Structure 1
Amino acid sequence: MTLISGTISVHGYNKHMEVPQTGIGLTVVLFVMCASVVWISGARLAYIADDLADRFQLAKSLVGLLVLSLATSLPEVATTLAAAVRQTQDLVLNNLFGGIALQTAVLAMSDFWARGAITNYPRKANHALEATLLVFLLSTALIVVSVGETFVFMGVGLGSALIALIYAGVIVLLRRYDGQNDWVPVDLPDPEELPFPAPSGLAGTSNRVLFLQAAFACLAILVFGLLLVVFATRIADQTGLGEGFVGVTLLAGATSLPELTTTITAVRIGAYTMAISNIFGSNLIMLVLVFPADILFRGGPILQNASTTVLLSLSFGVAVTAIFLTGLIVRSKPKIGAFGLDSVLVLVVFLLSILAYYHVR
């Protein structure tokens, strides 16, 4: 798949879809339209995933980690691989790593719908394990970026391959750990008192129709996620903000819309563990995407000579994940309004990250 100057084409086919050049105003409008489709499709996926978990008696944390996170990461997959083919290193890395702090902030915002700190809800320690392993992977990427690739094979760095290998081990470990070591939740609200009730209306829908709806939603996320990278790149050029700042803010935000809408929807229907695992699982996927991006990027190891923004985004990713890890371990914590203290700290750190990105742009 190739993406050059606003033209998307697929090798092996004569037909191609051209995206005409647009002014800044129309570019922003088209960007918002694509993001809206991604948002709506992501919300539908949350309902479908919750319903399928109930029908097939699957743990919702597992569905969030392995299924929902993969589906909602399709924009990251599309934009990352397309940007890697275009040889735009900054856009690839800032989109991936910048989205980690952003998506963790999304989880923090869900406290409003959860009626208290969402980190009080998990009954198992597997979410704390997810956060711990995510910090380990982020630290590994940070070390590789800081030290540089010491071994390169056919243009692919050892560091990105190591991240992919560790990711595989993480998924195996989390799968084996699921169902063990129960924790006791505290301060759980009455399910009847949940605000903003959001019935899915899927009770009478057949499994076949549910799977078809899920496939259609995933396709919409993939196609419009791919278009997002075209318009985000144009906005970077037309505004003069640069691909680094746009990648770590605007593009990362747009491609994180499925995580935002699925997380909020999951919390509204009481699927708290699925919401948490969806975010942590998506963050893990964004790290492992470095490996296929490295294969497609022909300018050398993609983690080599990364910008200061990349280092900052990894560091902020470690910070916000560590805060939530602490929140998962400390079961009863102070609240500020509807938000737990850990969520407030995550949101503060995220806002500071935006200022830092702008400062070094």
Structure 2
Amino acid sequence: MVFIIFLLVAAITVFAATKLSTYADVISAKTAVGGMLIGSMLLAGATSLPEITTSYTAVMLNNPDLAVGSLLGSNLFNLVILAFLDLYFRKDQVFERVWTQHRYTIGIGITLMFLILFSLRLDVMFIVLGIGLDTFVILGGYIIGMIIMSRLKQTSKTDDTEPEREEPLPELTARTAMIRFGVTALIILITGSILTIAGDRIAVITGLGASFVGSFLIAASTSLPEAVACFVACKLRNFNLAIGSILGSNLFNILILCGTDIFYRQGPLLVHVEPVHELTTSLVICLYFITFYLLVRVKPKTSFNYSIPSLLIIFSYFITSYYIFIYS
């Protein structure tokens, strides 16, 4: 029964995410805010709502591995989503059509993931106001990163332009789109909690372990909104919205990780998890570097050469999945 509930709620999440991306596209087109900013802030925050409920519910269940695994796994899966979409829309060569400012978002993500990796490796036991010192360091890095990215967006000069859309916008006003966006985001928030509870039961029933279930089963499920939202955005040819939502969602997940530590009362959150999360974090960093390369490389001459980095991302993901399954 728990498997049926899990699949049913996942399907509802997919449907809601489809609508979410459409409303975000309307908002970005009918307001003065561009696709990159809507993607990295509004859509990224909304599609990350399942991760919020997942991590906090896992902490309430006293399952820190499930909480950390779902967030790190979601960041990992989000980058794989970009790789799959890049291959699916390879004729459009997505990464050749987006704004170069996305590389700053990637740079901030790499820095924060390194801070998380160091925290996992060093087992920082210092506590301030009941919260691990490492959380304050990561949160400080996040805030500094947001300030830097905001200033760069304001001062950077670029000739990049949005590609022309092929599909017409829905007949919605910006206000109506915002209201529907909020209602749909609330639905996704609720389904995230249900997915977590069902995933926790699946971990117990199957004996797969909280780290593996969190890093892959729940992470993939809570990343469904990002996957569907990005696919719809790409179909609408709003590539900046698609990539911005994925990269912004990854940063938002790191912020959620900091918030989760506040609610975990057994000590620093990252100290009470299995070492296997270091492997997940390391792979996220590697995939970030590959994604960064996709943004800055010289335009490939053949379709195959263009696809190699994305194929490498997908291959690395499945290899790591196997190792985490073995050692979790």
Classify the secondary structure of the residue corresponding to 1:323: helix
The equivalent of 1:82 in structure 2 is 57
State which of 75, 84, 89 in structure 2 corresponds to 1:100. 75
**Superposition RMSD in Å:** 2.0
The one-letter amino acid of 2:83's match is A
When residues 119 and 240 of structure 1 are mapped into structure 2, their CA distance, relative to the original with a 3 A threshold, is same
Separation in 2 of the partners of 1:131 and 1:117? 19
Separation in 2 of the partners of 1:259 and 1:334? 30
State which of 98, 116, 120 in structure 2 corresponds to 1:122. 98
The equivalent of 1:286 in structure 2 is 253
Separation in 1 of the partners of 2:10 and 2:124? 35
Separation in 2 of the partners of 1:126 and 1:45? 24
Q: Identity of aligned pairs, percent? A: 24
CA contact (8 A) 2:101 2:153 kept: yes
- TM-score scaled to structure 1, two decimals? 0.85
Q: In the alignment, is residue 176 of structure 1 matched against residue 147 of structure 2?
A: no
Classify the secondary structure of the residue corresponding to 2:265: coil
CA contact (8 A) 1:80 1:96 kept: yes
The one-letter amino acid of 2:212's match is F
Residue 115 (structure 1) shift: 2.2
The equivalent of 1:211 in structure 2 is 178
Separation in 1 of the partners of 2:130 and 2:213? 27
The one-letter amino acid of 1:64's match is G
Separation in 1 of the partners of 2:323 and 2:232? 31
The one-character-per-residue Cα deviations of 1:242-270 (angstroms, maximum 9, x if unpaired) are 11110111000000000000111111111
Classify the secondary structure of the residue corresponding to 1:115: coil
The one-character-per-residue Cα deviations of 1:323-352 (angstroms, maximum 9, x if unpaired) are 010111103136555962221111111111
Classify the secondary structure of the residue corresponding to 1:304: helix
Separation in 2 of the partners of 1:134 and 1:45? 24
Q: In the alignment, is residue 342 of structure 1 matched against residue 309 of structure 2?
A: yes
1:1-361 pair list within 5 angstroms: 26-111=1-86, 112-113=88-89, 115-123=91-99, 125-178=100-153, 180-182=156-158, 199-200=168-169, 202=170, 204-333=171-300, 340-361=307-328
The one-character-per-residue Cα deviations of 1:298-343 (angstroms, maximum 9, x if unpaired) are 1110011431221111001001111010111103136555962221
CA contact (8 A) 2:35 2:241 kept: yes
Residue 279 (structure 1) shift: 0.7
The answer to which structure has the higher helix fraction is 2
Separation in 2 of the partners of 1:158 and 1:320? 27
CA contact (8 A) 1:119 1:331 kept: no
- Gaps spanning 5+ residues in structure 2: where? none
Separation in 2 of the partners of 1:177 and 1:224? 36
Separation in 2 of the partners of 1:222 and 1:336? 39
CA contact (8 A) 1:198 1:269 kept: yes
Separation in 1 of the partners of 2:196 and 2:55? 9
The one-letter amino acid of 2:111's match is F
Separation in 2 of the partners of 1:334 and 1:94? 39
Aligned length: 326
Separation in 1 of the partners of 2:22 and 2:176? 13
CA contact (8 A) 1:116 1:339 kept: no
Separation in 1 of the partners of 2:219 and 2:236? 26
CA contact (8 A) 1:294 1:302 kept: yes
When residues 79 and 263 of structure 1 are mapped into structure 2, their CA distance, relative to the original with a 3 A threshold, is same
Residue 176 (structure 1) shift: 1.8
Residue 184 (structure 1) shift: 5.9
- Gaps spanning 5+ residues in structure 1: where? 1-25
Separation in 2 of the partners of 1:181 and 1:352? 40
Separation in 2 of the partners of 1:338 and 1:50? 31
The one-letter amino acid of 2:69's match is N
Separation in 2 of the partners of 1:294 and 1:159? 10
When residues 224 and 338 of structure 1 are mapped into structure 2, their CA distance, relative to the original with a 3 A threshold, is farther
CA contact (8 A) 1:60 1:273 kept: yes
The one-letter amino acid of 1:140's match is L
CA contact (8 A) 1:333 1:340 kept: no
